[in-house]
């Protein structure tokens, strides 16, 4: 079991475990011993504290003779694409906590192909870090050598090569979550969109703060006010997107995946579509109605990607808006996804509301429980009781997922099924029991 890495890199509050000075420094050394890297490209998503992490990381990397180029604030998918295209680099490092609040930060490591590392490599890195911590004294952190470079145009050129300028100007409202997409917004202007920006003024302390893909109702309000064609809400590092139609109705990741699946299927696509254990049951059913297989993976876009490669899939993603279009990108890319959805709408001369109405999602009910430590689920009495009780009360007409978040200190419980009201009461009742049990066990 991993102790530092979650589903998307190392993440925490800057300066606190696991983002301590020692761990960040020795991560640099572990990277050098685990990956064949001579030069790495680093970026961040605008958070306060990123400079501190960069300085310590550079010291650890320089100590192992790895050169560091820093390209400033860009999205994680932009960094991924640049590393995959620019053979000057053998890896990338993104300093980001994605959708987490501004007090959080994180470190995502990419290989020479711009892809996230496997579980096996991350476990090996952790092993080396803890060995260094045992053997070595507190590291002497001296400022590492960092070369500032401008690389975002390489990503912008990639987008230009994939998407044509629109024929009829459309009004968009774009919420950048005060994060990395704020620095790439020219892409939409270049393609001919009339854009109203909200939450596109990063100051280091406002990223994801009541805005962006976690709060799509904010952009929805502005869409209605502006009478816009669509709304687009990114997360802090730009690998997620949630959209709204012209009425401000929200299109989450599952709806976007269905729109993409139908579009591809009509053009002869016959490979599977990949979701996760959290994907809506209606998405699975509707994709199968298109004649396509639907597979589920654990939560995390790296697992979605691995299944896509295994099955030859071109479409995969998560309800959260982490969507991979494999004929465009090798990771979730909010900008690519949004542009593809807009391209589909324009090509069919349809509004997003017309595309959205083809799928009606079943209700999913959630309980999120804050935890100080992740107690094995099999050791929690009420988790086991909940599963048994659900089978007894609902039979096969309920789907329950209980999992620890890989990016936040939360236990997440989700339930969906046919008997909506009873399921809502059921999950709340057991959510309270599990919350109290965790509190007692953790004391």
Question: pLDDT, tens digit, for every residue of 71-129?
Answer: 999 999 999 999 999 999 999 999 999 999 999 999 999 999 999 999 999 999 999 99
Mean pLDDT, rounded, for 39-43: 98
- Nearest C-alpha neighbor of 12 from the set 132, 129, 101, 131: 101
Instruction: Give the per-residue pLDDT at 36.
Output: 84
State which of 151, 170, 194 marks the end of a domain.
Answer: 151
Does residue 131 share a domain with residue 163? Answer: no
Q: Going by C-beta distance under 8 Å and a sequence separation of 6 or more, which residues neighbour residue 391?
A: none
Instruction: Give the per-residue pLDDT at 8.
Output: 87
| Active-site entry in 32, 80, 96, 98 | 98
pLDDT at position 167 over 70: yes
Does residue 314 share a domain with residue 213? Answer: yes
Does residue 307 share a domain with residue 190? Answer: yes
Give the chain's radius of gyration (CA, Å): 22
State which of 299, 326, 356 marks the end of a domain.
Answer: 356
Each residue's pLDDT tens digit, 280-300: 999 999 999 999 999 999 998
Instruction: Give the per-residue pLDDT at 366.
Output: 92
Instruction: Name the token pair of 377.
Output: 């689920």
pLDDT at position 211 over 80: yes
- Which pLDDT band holds residue 339 (cuts at 50, 70, 90)? very high
Number of domains in the chain: 3
Does residue 304 share a domain with residue 327? Answer: yes
Mean pLDDT, rounded, for 5-29: 93
Instruction: Give the per-residue pLDDT at 1.
Output: 67
Per DSSP, 384 falls in state H
State which of 356, 384, 418 marks the end of a domain.
Answer: 356
pLDDT at position 362 over 70: yes
Find the domain containing 21 and state its range.
5-151
Does residue 61 share a domain with residue 90? Answer: yes
Instruction: Name the token pair of 161.
Output: 């090569």
Instruction: Name the token pair of 279.
Output: 């994907």
Does the annotation count 98 as an active-site position?
yes
State how far the Cα of 126 lies from the Cα of 103, in Å rounded to an integer: 24
Does residue 345 share a domain with residue 374? Answer: no
Each residue's pLDDT tens digit, 233-246: 999 999 999 999 99
Tokens 């320089």 correspond to what residue?
Answer: 62
CATH number of the domain enclosing 250? 3.40.120.10
Instruction: Give the per-residue pLDDT at 144.
Output: 79
- In 10 A of CB 441, how many CB atoms? 12
Q: Determine what percent of the chain falls in helix, strand and coil, rounding each to the nearest 5.
A: 40, 20, 40
Per DSSP, 278 falls in state T
Instruction: Give the per-residue pLDDT at 408.
Output: 83
Does residue 316 share a domain with residue 382? Answer: no
pLDDT at position 348 over 90: yes
Does residue 388 share a domain with residue 266? Answer: no
Q: Spell out the SS3 assignment of 95-126.
A: ECCCCCCCCEEEEEEECCCCCECCHHHHHHHH
Does residue 299 share a domain with residue 216? Answer: yes
Does residue 332 share a domain with residue 193? Answer: yes
Average pLDDT, the chain: 95
Does residue 311 share a domain with residue 194? Answer: yes
Does residue 141 share a domain with residue 19? Answer: yes
Predicted structure pTM score: 0.92
CATH number of the domain enclosing 405? 3.30.310.50
Top mean-pLDDT range of 2-6, 250-254, 297-301? 250-254
Mean pLDDT, rounded, for 316-341: 97
Mean pLDDT, rounded, for 1-15: 89
Tokens 């936040």 correspond to what residue?
Answer: 408
- Which pLDDT band holds residue 141 (cuts at 50, 70, 90)? confident
Each residue's pLDDT tens digit, 417-437: 888 899 999 999 999 999 999
Each residue's pLDDT tens digit, 368-394: 999 988 999 999 999 999 999 998 999
- Which pLDDT band holds residue 201 (cuts at 50, 70, 90)? very high
């Amino acid at each position: 079991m991993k102790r530092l890495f979650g589903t998307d890199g190392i993440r925490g509050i800057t300066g606190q475990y696991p983002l301590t000075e020692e761990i960040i420094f020795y991560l640099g050394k572990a990277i050098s011993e685990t990956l064949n890297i001579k030069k790495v490209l680093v970026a961040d998503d605008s958070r306060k504290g990123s400079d501190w992490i960069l300085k310590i990381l550079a010291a650890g990397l320089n100590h192992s003779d790895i050169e560091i180029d820093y390209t400033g604030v860009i999205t994680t998918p932009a960094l991924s694409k640049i590393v995959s295209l620019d053979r000057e680099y053998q890896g990338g490092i993104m300093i980001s906590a994605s959708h987490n609040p501004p007090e959080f930060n994180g470190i995502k490591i990419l290989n020479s192909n711009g892809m996230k590392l496997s579980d096996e490599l991350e476990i090996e890195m952790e092993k080396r870090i803890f060995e260094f911590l045992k053997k070595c004294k507190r590291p002497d952190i001296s400022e590492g050598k960092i070369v500032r470079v401008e690389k975002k145009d390489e990503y912008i050129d990639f987008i230009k090569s994939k998407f044509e300028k629109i024929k009829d100007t459309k009004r968009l409202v774009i919420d950048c979550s005060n994060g990395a997409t704020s620095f790439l917004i020219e892409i939409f202007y270049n393609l001919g969109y009339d854009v109203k920006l909200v939450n596109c003024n990063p100051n280091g302390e406002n990223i994801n703060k009541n805005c962006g893909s976690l709060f799509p109702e904010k952009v929805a309000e502005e869409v209605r006010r502006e009478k816009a064609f669509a709304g687009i809400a990114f997360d802090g590092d730009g690998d997620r997107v949630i959209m709204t139609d012209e009425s401000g109705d929200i299109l989450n990741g599952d709806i976007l995946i269905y729109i993409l699946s139908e579009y591809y299927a009509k053009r002869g696509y016959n490979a599977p579509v990949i979701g996760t254990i959290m994907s809506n049951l209606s998405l699975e059913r509707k994709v199968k109605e298109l004649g396509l297989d639907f597979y589920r993976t654990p939560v995390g876009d790296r697992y979605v990607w691995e299944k896509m490669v295994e099955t030859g899939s071109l479409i995969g993603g998560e309800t959260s808006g982490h969507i991979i279009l494999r004929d465009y990108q090798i990771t979730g890319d909010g900008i690519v996804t949004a542009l593809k959805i807009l391209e589909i709408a324009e090509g069919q001369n349809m509004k997003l509301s017309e595309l959205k109405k083809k799928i009606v999602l079943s209700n999913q009910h959630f309980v999120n429980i804050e935890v100080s430590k992740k107690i094995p689920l099999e050791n929690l009495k009420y988790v086991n009781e909940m599963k048994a009780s659900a089978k007894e009360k609902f039979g096969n007409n309920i789907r329950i997922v209980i999992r620890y978040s890989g990016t936040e200190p939360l236990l997440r419980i989700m339930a969906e099924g046919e008997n909506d009201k009873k399921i809502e009461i059921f999950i709340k009742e057991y959510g309270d029991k599990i919350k109290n049990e965790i509190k007692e066990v953790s004391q």
